Structures are given as C-alpha cells and as structure tokens.
Amino acid sequence: MTSVLGANMWSDIFLMAFKFPNLFRRIFAEGSFTQSFMPAYIASRQKSVFAVAIFIRFMIFIVALSFLVTLFPEFSTKLLAWDWGEDLISKTAPLTMINFWYLDLIFIVTFLGTLLQHKEHFFTTAFSTVWLNIAMIIALLLFSKSNPQTIVYALSFSILIGGLLQVATHIYSIRQQGLLKILMGGWNYRKSKDVKKEESKFATLFFPSLLGNSTAQIASFIDTSLASFLVAGSVSYLFYANRVFQLPFAIIALAITTALFPSIAKAIKNGNHPLAYKNLYKSFWLLSALLGLSVLGGILLSEPIVWLLFERGNFTITDTKNTADVLRMYMIGLIPFGLAKLFSLYLYAMHKHLKAAKIAGASLIINLIFSLILMKPMGAAGLALAGSIGGAVQLVLTVKEVGWGIFFNLLKTRFSLYFAMGTVGIGILFYSLNIVLINLIR
C-alpha cells in the first residue's frame, strides 16, 4: 500500500475512512465485548441461550449504526476529520460508508471467536485476519496501475471481502468444535428460557469495560483528527508507524493475554489465586523479555526498519524519516501498554471493570493534554509520544490497583538481573548495527 499510494492526500483519505470502523470495532467488539462476555458466559448456566440473546442485541445495534453512517456519510466523516475542507470530505465520505460495514462482519467474527476462546481454541481467530490482508494485497496488485481514487475504492471493497472470509472461517471452526448445534439450540429456545440475570450481569460488566477499552481507541481517534491539522501525510505517518508498533504488540502482548485470560478467569472464579498468580508470573517475564527486545530494535533501528518495509514507489526518503520519528515515539510505550494489558486481566477477571474504566479514563486525559502540548513542536511524532505517556500512566495506575506487592514480588527474581544485562548488551549491538545500516542505505 505504501508503494502504490505513498503518504499523501489519497492515502490519508483511505486511512481516515478505514479509521471509523476500526474505532468502533475495537470499542464494541475486540475489547469490551470479549472481556465482559467471557466471565458472564463462564458463569451462565444456560450458555447457548445467553450467547444468542447477547448476539441478537448487539447485531441489531451495529446494523442500525451502519445504516446511519450509510445515510449520513459526510457528517460521519466530518466527525473524524475536523479540519478537512468540503472537497476532502466529499472524497472520503463514500469510502467511509463502504468501510463501515466491515464492523458488522467483524463483530460476528469476535462473537464466534470468543466462544472458541472459551474452548481454548485460538488458532482460527489468529489466522483469520490473514484473509483481510490477502484481500487487500490482491486489490492492490490488480489496481496498482489505476488512478489513486480507483485504488482506494478497490481497497475499501476488498476489506468487506476479507471480512466475509473471516466470518466463513469462524463458522467452519464453530461447526468443527461442536458449537453450532449449541447456538442453534439457544436460538430455538431463546423465548422459553430466562436469562435475564445473566444479561444483567453482562451489562454491569460491559458498560464499564466499554468505557475502559474505548479510551485507547478514543485517543487514537483524537490523534488521527489532530493529525488532520498537520501537514499532508501526517495521518499516514501515524498509521504506518502504528502498523510496525502493532506487530510486536499483537504477536506478543495480545497473543499472550488472549491465551491467558480464560485461564485466569477460571482460576479466580474457582478461588484458585495461586494458579492465577503462577500464570501471571510466567507471562510477565516472557512478555517483558520479548517486548524489551522489540523496543530496543524499534527505537535504535527505526529508520532501517521503515526503509526496508516501506521506502519504494511513491514512498520517499522524507516519508521514511518522518515515519521513523513517529515509530520511535510509539515504541517508548510498547512495554507500558503490554504490561498494562497483562495486569488489567486481573481486574477484569475479578469483575473490577469499573475500576479499569476509571484508570483508562485518567490515562486518556493525560494523553489528550500531552497531545495538545506536543503536536505543534513535534508534529505527528508528538502525538505518538503523548500516547506512550498515557500508556505509562495506565500501567502505574493498573499495578497500583492490582497491588504493588504482587508487582515487586515479580521483580524479586534473578530474571531482573538477566533482563538488565540483556538490555544493555542488545542495546549496544542494535546501536552499532543501526550506524552500519544507515551508512549502507544512504
């Protein structure tokens, strides 16, 4: 995509349109829903009926929201791009309308994926995003010689195709796991069974979780909107740098916490806190080591990484340097974001969703304050740094709520010394490698 579109007006237009469904996807689907649905589903005595009832309510709301965006696409786009003129808004609005329907598809994926997680089956959800990438890549290959407007429309429709393939993959796995009959049973008996208590419990967990999980997405939403006030390409710099940041965050932090959450939730529900702590201990050091390595590489090798991944076609040397600046600021927050995600599992497993929401709200306020302070002197890099500062605040407040005693017990091991020594050694290696690579590529 960087090769075909570069970092300019058209890439900004597409990424702005794609930002809208991603915002709601992460608020309603991947974050809040899973963390609220899983504990309530585990505790439910009528799991199939409860699952179907929740699915119907969410789908009605999301479909209605999609129709509103379809009817008022320019108004919806203006909510994102505050400083864009009528010409840019009119170009973006149709793409916003198309892209938003991806939310409906990804909610189905998230719902089915959560049921698979309960069965401790994670492969399908992890793999299915490949379909989205394949669909986008094929669209870019087929339309690479077309004009930019045609390319962004092709990308938008490819996202819907990728979403349909994700849904189909999950339906197949649901059937393989024997869950399809259970869901059909819940559909058939949804009126004769009473799951009001389970629904009420879910609601008490979901709305605080919605607030807690939405803050990170609202911060990203605000960053994108603030970037519309900066020079052309700033939205793209944020997006491309964030893609690199999300690679270790998703592969390491999200993968570990996603696999860990059902185990911690079940252990705490059964009163087995030593088992929950044992899982936390193992995950903490694995997460710290892998994220620490990623941070050193991302900061010290930022320009070679961006050069290798993106600098070709319409993506210039200037774009590489600007994106690398943003990437360094994002990587500062990788460990805080990853560890905050890990420790927040304890809060969600203990049904402290409201407390997690308050912590996330505080980090959002700090993020917004620093975004406004740093965006003028630092540009897009300042917005990324503000996000990292917000992540650090979230980590401190989350650890405080979980208990400083637990945190310091995790640190009182020989792994702390290994981690410090490894950081120094690898840091020197990466710094030397960066000097060599910069001389080679420039």
Q: For 213-245, what is each residue's pLDDT tens digit?
A: 666 667 777 787 788 788 878 888 998 998 899
**Could you read off the pLDDT of 43-63 as tens digits, one per residue?**
777 777 778 888 888 889 889
Taking only the tens place, the pLDDT of each residue in 3-17 is 888 877 888 888 888
**Band of pLDDT at residue 192, cut at 50, 70 and 90:** very low
* Nearest residue to 43 (alpha-carbon basis) of 274, 201, 257, 210: 201
Selection from 81-95, 264-278, 325-339 with the highest mean pLDDT: 325-339
Instruction: Quote the pLDDT of residue 47.
Output: 75
Among the residue ranges 78-87, 163-172, 184-193, 232-241, the one predicted with the least confidence is: 184-193
Task: Write down the mean pLDDT value for the chain.
Answer: 83
- Percent of the chain's residues with pLDDT above 70: 88
Residues whose CB falls within 8 Å of the CB of residue 330, separated by 6 or more in sequence, listed in order: 241, 242, 244, 245, 298, 384, 387, 388
**Residue 248 phi, psi (nearest 5):** -70, -30
pLDDT of residue 199: 66
Task: Flag whether pLDDT at 104 surpasses 80.
Answer: yes
Out of 125-139, 172-186, 302-316, least confident range: 172-186
Is-contact 245 331, C-beta < 8 A? yes
Give the per-residue pLDDT at 388: 92
pLDDT above 60: residue 425: yes
Mean pLDDT for the stretch of residues 338-362: 81
When comparing pLDDT for 121 and 328, which is higher? 328
The larger pLDDT score, comparing residue 199 to residue 2, is at: 2
Q: Is 397 helix (H, G, I), strand (E, B) or coil?
A: helix
What's the pLDDT band for 186 if we cut at 50, 70, 90? low
Element (H, E) at 195: none
Q: What is the pLDDT of residue 30?
A: 53
pLDDT for 329 equals 94
* pLDDT at 142 (0 to 100): 94
Q: pTM of the entire structure? A: 0.70
Query: Model confidence over 397-406: pLDDT tens digits?
Result: 999 988 888 7
* Predicted local distance difference test score (pLDDT) of residue 216: 65
**Which position has the higher pLDDT, 168 or 263?**
168
Q: Which tokens is 327 given?
A: 């990437």
DSSP letter at 295?
A: H
What value does the mean pLDDT take over residues 310-333? Answer: 91
Q: Which of 122-136, 275-289, 318-332 has the lowest mean pLDDT?
A: 275-289
Average pLDDT (162-190) is 81
pLDDT of residue 209: 67
Under 8 Å between Cβ of 105 and 135: no
Q: Which residues of 38-73 are buried (b: 16+ CB within 10 A; e: fewer)?
A: bbbbebbebbbbbbbbbbeebeeebeebbeebeeeb
Residue 24 clears pLDDT 50, i.e. is over it:
yes
Distances (CA, A) of 73 to 58, 85, 98, 159, 204: 22, 15, 9, 18, 32
Say yes or no to pLDDT of 36 above 80. Answer: no
